[in-house]
Structure formats: structure tokens, C-alpha cells
Structure 1
């Protein structure tokens, strides 16, 4: 990974702007501050973001640190992570992100989160314990493939033990910020 500027600052700006707008909408959704029209607009924005990311993936592969810089690479990861309505695109992004990780152009923590999200969205148990449900009565970790070795697996990709990650999430989502309906989210640890 490099400290030089990104090769495509135009793509970087677009990814960052899209991810920031989407994150703001999700934050309002978690706090139940959106009406039905705004929820629909948020879903439309997620679809539009997925389409933009799909175009970037087809033209450039994963938009990693070299192409767009670390901040925009994180934005691309966030867009892919929230492409829940398009599982084929999410799986393709997971594969390309894994290749970028292997080339040293992306963070393995981002791949672990996206890998887990794609598994959960396709009805499978997750591997790294990064996906959870926020419910009115608390936080629930989505089903795990191998819970007995979870913390070892998390450590292998640079994630903290599950108990530490859950404390962070509990601090972030205090009782008055919980959603009334279940909402799948990723741990905020892949910064």
C-alpha cells in the first residue's frame, strides 16, 4: 500500500460521496428517523451505488488503495457491504476484494466483513462473526459456522475478540438508538 495519491481521484471522489450519503441515511434509519418515502429513497440510492460499483469493478477490478486511495477503498467496501439487494454483485465484489487483499491493495478486515455479509445474505452461517442484528431488545450475532474457534479466526484477519467488538457496538448503539425492526449491520471495527 502506498502513500502516493490515488491514480483515479475522480473515482475516489464519487465513491466517497456515495458512501457518505448512504451512511447518513443508514444512521437515520437505525434511529427510526425516516418515513416510508425516505426509506425507499435510501434503497434506491443503495441500488444506484451498487450499479456504480459494478461498473467500476468491471472496468478496474477492485478499487483498491492504489487506484482510489484508502478512504475511497473503504467507501467501495461500504457500498459493496450494503449491496444486500443484489447478492450476485456482492459475491463478485467479495471475490475481487479478496484478490486485492492478496495483492496487498486492500484490507483483509474489509474482506472478512464482506465475506460474512455475503454468506449471511445467502442464508449461510458466517465465519468471522462480523454480522449482527440490532433488535429492540438487544444485539444478536448472526449464526456462526464454527463458534468454538471464532476468536482465533478473527485474530487471523486482524479483528479483535468478539467480546471486545460487542462492547464497541453496545456503546455505539445505546438503547435510545436501537431500531424497532431488526436491522443487519456490520461491526464498526473495519475502519
Structure 2
């Protein structure tokens, strides 16, 4: 993958700013620090981000490392990951991200996370165990296909074994007041 200057630095800055703002809101939401108005604003921002990413995908295909650089490519992935209100868009973004992975312009781990998220938001079982729920009694995996071969699938896309990923998430969230939430909302790369 290329790490030279992105072809579209203005687009990169926009993606990064949008993703950072949304990540801050999600972290506050997981910690139950948003009032009803702020929660609505956060959801509106996610919807606006989806609209912007939809436009970018239509104009440029997936905004990968060459177009926007690795940090902004991660930001685009985060925006797509949190486009839960538009599952058709999320599935389409997954397809475009997969093409970028095959072209050496995006990370396969990002594709695995987005693929799992699109499956879960569409009511299917995930493949790679990247989508978790934070509940009052602990952390649990969202529904999962063929759990007996999970670590093999995770390894095929460069993800650590599920036990390692779950321990990392548990350590990060032991000090967080427990609220029911999708952990991927706050920390999608933990799994």
C-alpha cells in the first residue's frame, strides 16, 4: 500500500474530521454521557456522514490509501461501519472496500469488520467475530456463524484469536459504567 501524499488532501481532511467527531460522540454514548438532545445530534451526524460518504463513493469509488491516505481511509471505513441505519449502503460500501483490498489500496481487517457489521445489521450471523455487545453482565459476541472455525477465519484476515481480542476489549472497558451498547460503536478495532 502506498503511503505517499494523498491525491485528495481536502477530501482526506473532511473524512478525518467527520470520523473524529463521530468517534467522540460514540465514546460518550458508551459511557452514557449524552443527554437526549446530544444523542439525537450524534445520530444526525452519523446520518450526515453516511450521506457524504455515499457521495464520495459515487465520485471516487472507495477512498483508499492512494486517494486519501491511510488515516482518512480508516476514517471512511469508520463512517461506513456506523451507517447502520442504511444497511443497503453498508453492504455496497463493503463491496467497494473489498475491491480496494484486492487492489492493495485498503486493509483487509477493515473489510472484515465492515463485512461483519453489514451482516449483523442485515440480521445475519457475522463471520469474523468483530461485532460485540457490552451488557451489564459483560461482553458477548453478536451472533456468529460456525464458531468452531472462528480463529481460522480471523487468522485469514490478519485478526488475532478471539480470546486475545476479547481480553483486550475487557481490559479497555472494565472502568466504563456498563450500558448496553454495541462495542464496535466505540472501539471497532478492538475485536
Fold match, TM over 0.5? yes
Which ranges of 4 or more aligned residues in structure 1 deviate by more than 2 Å?
185-190
Q: Give the structure 1 partner of residue 182 of structure 2.
A: 184
* Number of equivalent positions: 188
Distance 1:146 1:5 in 2: 41
CA positional deviation for 1:184: 1.5
Q: Give the structure 2 partner of residue 173 of structure 1.
A: 173
**1:11-160 paired onto structure 2 within 5 Å:** 11-160=11-160
CA positional deviation for 1:34: 0.4
> Is the CA contact (8 Å cut-off) linking 1:65 and 1:105 kept in structure 2?
yes
> Is the CA contact (8 Å cut-off) linking 2:169 and 2:190 kept in structure 1?
no
> Is the CA contact (8 Å cut-off) linking 2:136 and 2:178 kept in structure 1?
yes
Distance 1:184 1:135 in 2: 9
Gaps of 5+ in 1: none
Q: 1:178 to 1:130 in 2, by over 3 A?
A: farther
CA positional deviation for 1:2: 1.1
Distance 1:37 1:189 in 2: 28
CA positional deviation for 1:178: 3.9
> RMSD of the TM alignment (CA)?
1.1
TM-score, normalised on structure 2? 0.96
TM-score, normalised on structure 1? 0.96
